[in-house]
Amino acid sequence: MSAESPPAGPAARRATARHASAVIVAGLIVGLVSGVALGVVWWQLAPRVPLVVQPGVSYPQGYQPEGYLAADAAFGLLGLVAGIAITIGLANMRRDHLFSVLVAALLSGAVGTAAMWFVGTRLGSVDIEGLSATTTADLVVEAPLRVSMPSMFLMWALASAVVVTVLALGDWIGEARTARRALRAGDGGEAT
Protein backbone atom coordinates (compact mmCIF):
# COMPACT_ATOMS: atom_id res chain seq x y z
CA MET A 1 0.00 0.00 0.00
CA SER A 2 1.41 3.41 -0.98
CA ALA A 3 1.75 6.37 1.37
CA GLU A 4 -0.81 8.37 -0.65
CA SER A 5 -3.67 5.85 -0.72
CA PRO A 6 -6.04 5.83 2.25
CA PRO A 7 -6.26 2.71 4.39
CA ALA A 8 -8.93 0.22 3.35
CA GLY A 9 -11.53 -1.51 5.45
CA PRO A 10 -14.79 -0.71 7.23
CA ALA A 11 -13.11 1.04 10.18
CA ALA A 12 -11.18 3.36 7.87
CA ARG A 13 -14.34 4.16 5.87
CA ARG A 14 -16.21 5.03 9.09
CA ALA A 15 -13.34 7.26 10.22
CA THR A 16 -13.25 9.02 6.83
CA ALA A 17 -17.03 9.50 6.85
CA ARG A 18 -16.85 10.78 10.41
CA HIS A 19 -14.20 13.34 9.46
CA ALA A 20 -16.16 14.44 6.39
CA SER A 21 -19.36 14.84 8.41
CA ALA A 22 -17.45 16.81 11.06
CA VAL A 23 -16.30 19.27 8.40
CA ILE A 24 -19.86 19.60 7.06
CA VAL A 25 -21.33 20.17 10.54
CA ALA A 26 -18.59 22.70 11.33
CA GLY A 27 -19.32 24.48 8.05
CA LEU A 28 -23.04 24.70 8.82
CA ILE A 29 -22.48 26.00 12.35
CA VAL A 30 -19.82 28.53 11.36
CA GLY A 31 -21.90 29.62 8.37
CA LEU A 32 -24.95 30.26 10.55
CA VAL A 33 -23.08 32.12 13.27
CA SER A 34 -21.03 34.21 10.87
CA GLY A 35 -24.09 34.90 8.71
CA VAL A 36 -25.96 36.32 11.69
CA ALA A 37 -22.97 38.46 12.66
CA LEU A 38 -22.44 39.65 9.09
CA GLY A 39 -26.13 40.53 8.84
CA VAL A 40 -25.64 42.99 11.68
CA VAL A 41 -22.48 44.34 10.02
CA TRP A 42 -24.32 44.73 6.70
CA TRP A 43 -27.17 46.56 8.44
CA GLN A 44 -24.65 49.00 9.92
CA LEU A 45 -22.52 49.43 6.77
CA ALA A 46 -25.11 49.70 4.04
CA PRO A 47 -26.28 53.20 3.15
CA ARG A 48 -30.02 53.83 2.97
CA VAL A 49 -31.91 55.75 0.34
CA PRO A 50 -34.21 58.52 1.63
CA LEU A 51 -37.81 57.66 0.87
CA VAL A 52 -40.67 60.16 0.73
CA VAL A 53 -43.84 58.73 2.24
CA GLN A 54 -47.12 60.45 1.42
CA PRO A 55 -50.67 59.35 2.14
CA GLY A 56 -51.19 56.33 -0.10
CA VAL A 57 -47.82 56.46 -1.94
CA SER A 58 -44.06 56.36 -1.38
CA TYR A 59 -41.11 57.07 -3.67
CA PRO A 60 -37.35 57.65 -3.39
CA GLN A 61 -36.31 61.23 -2.71
CA GLY A 62 -34.48 62.14 -5.89
CA TYR A 63 -32.93 59.51 -8.12
CA GLN A 64 -30.29 57.72 -6.01
CA PRO A 65 -29.32 54.36 -7.48
CA GLU A 66 -25.90 54.56 -5.79
CA GLY A 67 -27.55 53.86 -2.41
CA TYR A 68 -29.03 50.61 -3.64
CA LEU A 69 -25.80 49.71 -5.43
CA ALA A 70 -23.70 50.39 -2.32
CA ALA A 71 -25.98 48.22 -0.16
CA ASP A 72 -25.66 45.37 -2.68
CA ALA A 73 -21.89 45.84 -2.93
CA ALA A 74 -21.53 45.72 0.86
CA PHE A 75 -23.58 42.51 0.97
CA GLY A 76 -21.52 40.92 -1.81
CA LEU A 77 -18.18 42.00 -0.34
CA LEU A 78 -19.07 40.60 3.08
CA GLY A 79 -20.09 37.34 1.37
CA LEU A 80 -16.79 37.16 -0.55
CA VAL A 81 -14.67 37.72 2.55
CA ALA A 82 -16.68 35.20 4.56
CA GLY A 83 -16.49 32.62 1.76
CA ILE A 84 -12.72 32.91 1.50
CA ALA A 85 -12.06 32.89 5.25
CA ILE A 86 -14.43 30.07 6.15
CA THR A 87 -13.35 27.85 3.26
CA ILE A 88 -9.69 28.27 4.22
CA GLY A 89 -10.61 27.26 7.77
CA LEU A 90 -12.57 24.23 6.55
CA ALA A 91 -9.72 23.20 4.24
CA ASN A 92 -7.38 23.41 7.21
CA MET A 93 -9.63 20.91 9.02
CA ARG A 94 -9.69 18.38 6.17
CA ARG A 95 -7.05 19.26 3.57
CA ASP A 96 -6.71 15.70 2.27
CA HIS A 97 -10.35 15.45 1.12
CA LEU A 98 -11.31 18.60 -0.78
CA PHE A 99 -14.71 17.30 -1.89
CA SER A 100 -15.99 17.33 1.70
CA VAL A 101 -14.50 20.82 2.08
CA LEU A 102 -16.35 21.96 -1.05
CA VAL A 103 -19.67 20.50 0.15
CA ALA A 104 -19.20 22.05 3.60
CA ALA A 105 -18.22 25.42 2.14
CA LEU A 106 -21.20 25.51 -0.23
CA LEU A 107 -23.60 24.56 2.56
CA SER A 108 -21.95 27.14 4.80
CA GLY A 109 -22.43 29.71 2.06
CA ALA A 110 -26.11 28.88 1.61
CA VAL A 111 -26.85 29.00 5.34
CA GLY A 112 -24.64 32.03 5.96
CA THR A 113 -26.04 34.05 3.07
CA ALA A 114 -29.62 33.30 4.12
CA ALA A 115 -28.84 34.26 7.73
CA MET A 116 -27.04 37.45 6.67
CA TRP A 117 -29.95 38.49 4.45
CA PHE A 118 -32.59 37.61 7.07
CA VAL A 119 -30.90 39.46 9.94
CA GLY A 120 -29.94 42.50 7.84
CA THR A 121 -33.36 42.94 6.26
CA ARG A 122 -35.14 42.50 9.59
CA LEU A 123 -32.94 45.03 11.35
CA GLY A 124 -33.23 47.45 8.43
CA SER A 125 -36.96 47.05 7.88
CA VAL A 126 -39.43 49.92 7.75
CA ASP A 127 -43.21 49.56 7.56
CA ILE A 128 -43.74 51.77 4.52
CA GLU A 129 -47.34 50.66 3.95
CA GLY A 130 -48.23 51.37 7.57
CA LEU A 131 -46.60 54.81 7.45
CA SER A 132 -48.29 55.60 4.14
CA ALA A 133 -51.70 54.58 5.51
CA THR A 134 -51.38 56.59 8.72
CA THR A 135 -49.56 59.76 7.65
CA THR A 136 -51.31 62.99 6.72
CA ALA A 137 -48.18 64.89 5.64
CA ASP A 138 -45.03 64.10 3.70
CA LEU A 139 -42.46 62.11 5.67
CA VAL A 140 -38.87 61.36 4.70
CA VAL A 141 -37.61 58.04 6.11
CA GLU A 142 -34.80 55.65 5.29
CA ALA A 143 -35.85 53.00 2.79
CA PRO A 144 -35.87 49.39 3.96
CA LEU A 145 -32.61 47.49 3.52
CA ARG A 146 -32.77 44.97 0.70
CA VAL A 147 -30.66 43.22 -1.91
CA SER A 148 -31.55 44.53 -5.37
CA MET A 149 -29.17 42.34 -7.40
CA PRO A 150 -29.87 38.62 -6.88
CA SER A 151 -26.33 37.74 -7.98
CA MET A 152 -25.04 39.05 -4.64
CA PHE A 153 -26.55 35.97 -2.99
CA LEU A 154 -23.98 33.83 -4.86
CA MET A 155 -20.83 35.68 -3.77
CA TRP A 156 -20.15 33.53 -0.67
CA ALA A 157 -20.55 30.29 -2.63
CA LEU A 158 -18.49 31.65 -5.52
CA ALA A 159 -15.61 32.58 -3.23
CA SER A 160 -15.78 29.15 -1.60
CA ALA A 161 -15.64 27.36 -4.94
CA VAL A 162 -12.70 29.49 -6.09
CA VAL A 163 -10.72 28.71 -2.92
CA VAL A 164 -11.31 24.96 -3.30
CA THR A 165 -10.40 25.16 -7.00
CA VAL A 166 -7.14 26.95 -6.21
CA LEU A 167 -6.31 24.36 -3.53
CA ALA A 168 -7.07 21.48 -5.90
CA LEU A 169 -4.98 23.08 -8.65
CA GLY A 170 -2.11 23.53 -6.20
CA ASP A 171 -2.36 19.88 -5.19
CA TRP A 172 -2.42 18.78 -8.81
CA ILE A 173 0.65 20.88 -9.68
CA GLY A 174 2.48 19.55 -6.61
CA GLU A 175 1.69 15.94 -7.55
CA ALA A 176 2.81 16.54 -11.14
CA ARG A 177 6.14 17.98 -9.94
CA THR A 178 6.66 15.06 -7.57
CA ALA A 179 5.92 12.55 -10.33
CA ARG A 180 8.27 14.35 -12.70
CA ARG A 181 11.08 14.34 -10.10
CA ALA A 182 10.51 10.66 -9.41
CA LEU A 183 10.63 9.94 -13.13
CA ARG A 184 13.88 11.90 -13.52
CA ALA A 185 15.40 10.18 -10.50
CA GLY A 186 14.42 6.79 -11.97
CA ASP A 187 15.92 7.65 -15.38
CA GLY A 188 19.12 8.98 -13.79
CA GLY A 189 19.58 5.85 -11.66
CA GLU A 190 19.29 3.52 -14.69
CA ALA A 191 21.76 5.50 -16.80
CA THR A 192 24.63 5.23 -14.31
Three-state DSSP string of 180-192:
HHHHHHHHHHHHC
Does residue 99 lie in a domain region? Answer: yes
Q: Which of 160, 61, 45 is nearest to 102 (CA)?
A: 160
Does residue 121 lie in a domain region? Answer: yes
Number of residues that this document lists for the chain: 192
pLDDT at residue 25, as a whole number = 93
pLDDT at residue 149, as a whole number = 93
Does residue 119 lie in a domain region? Answer: yes
- Number of folded domains that form the chain: 1
CA distances from 154 to 37, 86, 99, 108 (A): 18, 15, 19, 12
Kindly tell me the number of DSSP H helices and DSSP E strands found in the chain: 5, 3
Report the alpha-carbon distance of residue 169 to residue 89 in Å, rounded.
18
Does residue 137 lie in a domain region? Answer: yes
Does residue 5 lie in a domain region? Answer: no
pLDDT at residue 2, as a whole number = 41
pLDDT at residue 135, as a whole number = 76
Give residue 54's domain range.
Answer: 21-185
pLDDT along the chain (192 residues), means of 10: 52 63 92 97 89 75 79 96 95 86 95 96 83 78 86 96 94 91 76 48
Does residue 141 lie in a domain region? Answer: yes
Does residue 6 lie in a domain region? Answer: no
Residue 145 contacts residue 46 (beta carbons within 8 Å): yes
Does residue 164 lie in a domain region? Answer: yes
pLDDT at residue 10, as a whole number = 64
Report the alpha-carbon distance of residue 161 to residue 140 in Å, rounded.
42
**Angle at CA of residue 96, ends 92 and 97, nearest 5°:** 100
